[in-house]
Structure 1
Amino acid sequence: MVLESGSGWKVSADIDKEMLLALYIRDLAAIEPLGATSLAPLSPRVKPAAARELDGNAAGELRQEWQSWWEGILANGRQSIDIHEEPDFADFSDSPSLQHLLRAHYGNAYTWTQNRLGEYQDYCQDNTKERLELLAHIFDERELEGKNVEDLHLKLVELPLAERRAWFVEPDMVILSQELMRDATLFRSYLQPIIDLMT
């Protein structure tokens, strides 16, 4: 959904269903991701129940397979799993450990994800006006400073993460905790430097 647009710039914000599913699996299996975009745990917390199902070799293999899946989600920005029906996970045939985990825990993952999607609708009703005003103000300030904000499209992915912060994923995506919006000063402290980098 598009939240706001101005003189050539646009900001969209939404939740990402496949990211939710991937992060649920990450927390369920206690996968420690590699790289800079290592997000905080989900909230409400997902118990690492599947971690004890894995031996050392399987855990290492699963970590690599999950990392590849996550990087694909970030790079492509598209969903490869239809979470509204029981998938066959054929797209994961080259990731046997991950495929097995998805098949074994999909029911609980689906229920957890659907609950978060419902909560996100309530979150949007409560916070959309404040987000619109704050983001428009940040962009207006950049324009007044003479920065070029034309053709800028900032994509916010709002997820239920336990830590109030934001993670910039180049070139134009920001993953942020839904809780971050509850603190306008903190929200601005993360978003303003990112917008500066993009202009």
Structure 2
Amino acid sequence: MYESSGDGWSLSAKTNGQMLLALYLRDLAGIQHAGQPVLCPVAPAVKPVAAAEVPEHSSAELKQEWQQWWHRLLRSDAAIEAAISPPHFHSFDDSPSLQRLLRAHYGAAFVWARSRQTECDARTRDHAAAGRWSLLEEMLRERGASRASHDGAPLSLTLVELPLAEPRAWFLEPGTVLLSHDLPRHETLFRSYLEPMVELLP
């Protein structure tokens, strides 16, 4: 995790274990074009080996249940994290297809997510050591100074780094950005995504 702040702004960068689990299961089950925003596949790629386990008549149901779970994670992961509760996953009793997927693959999903979380945490520290967050901090300083002159509230931006195959970023209101863990390595691309997002901060 990375945190920094200044006069009128604050920045944090971290990963999210529950989102990692959800994305692993999404790709494992071959669920496509699901959730908002629609994120690209994870990296390293997860083979959709569980897709064959999902009966055709259940695939739409699984997709809908996954999307509902993802939506809850985007709103607040703390309550969901406490509610995963293996091995029976009773918090998913209202999502039977997703519950079956969790019961069958939670062990592998957990190991994969834990490994990716360790890698993402290392990349966050690497970005900090290489000064890659300074570009974003400067954007926040400039925008914060502009807002302060108009009695604006302090800016707050949270980055959620995820192991995604494409170097992209997705803005979530009010002040969260999902981004590929490798995006900060591409300075020009990083700026092109984050600059307009900083302008959108309330």
Q: Give the alignment's TM-score, normalised by structure 1.
A: 0.91
Determine the C-alpha separation between the residues in 2 that align with 1:83 and 1:160.
24
Query: Could you tell me the percent identity over the aligned residues?
Result: 47
Residues in 1 aligned to 2:22 and 2:34: alpha-carbon distance in whole angstroms: 14
Of 163, 166, 187, 2:190 maps to: 187
Q: Tell me if structure 2 keeps the 8 A contact 1:14–1:158.
A: yes
Equivalent-residue separation in structure 1 for 2:81 and 2:48 (angstroms): 22
Alignment of 1:1-199 (within 5 A): 1-34=1-34, 36-81=36-81, 86-129=86-129, 130-143=131-144, 146-148=146-148, 150-199=153-202
Unaligned regions of 5+ residues in structure 2, if any? Answer: none
Bigger Cα displacement from structure 2, 93-102 vs 125-134:
125-134
Q: Secondary structure at the match of 1:80?
A: helix
Q: What stretches of structure 1 of length at least 5 have no aligned partner?
A: none
Separation of aligned partners in 2, 1:84 and 1:66: 14
Q: Residue 88 of structure 2 aligns to which amino acid in structure 1?
A: D
Deviation larger for 77-86 or 180-189: 77-86
Amino acid of the structure 2 residue aligned with 1:141: E
CA distance in structure 1 between the aligned counterparts of 2:86 and 2:93, rounded to whole angstroms: 16
Q: Distance in 1 between matches of 2:12 and 2:99?
A: 32
Shift of residue 83, structure 1, vs aligned partner: 9.9
Change (3 A) 1:192 1:82: same
Structural RMSD (CA): 2.1
For residues 142-198 of structure 1, give each alpha carbon's deviation from its aligned partner in whole angstroms, at most 9, with x where no partner exists: 246x23464221111000000101001111110000010111111111111011011
Shift of 1:7: 1.1
Q: Are the counterparts in 1 of residues 7 and 144 from structure 2 also a CA contact under 8 Å?
A: no
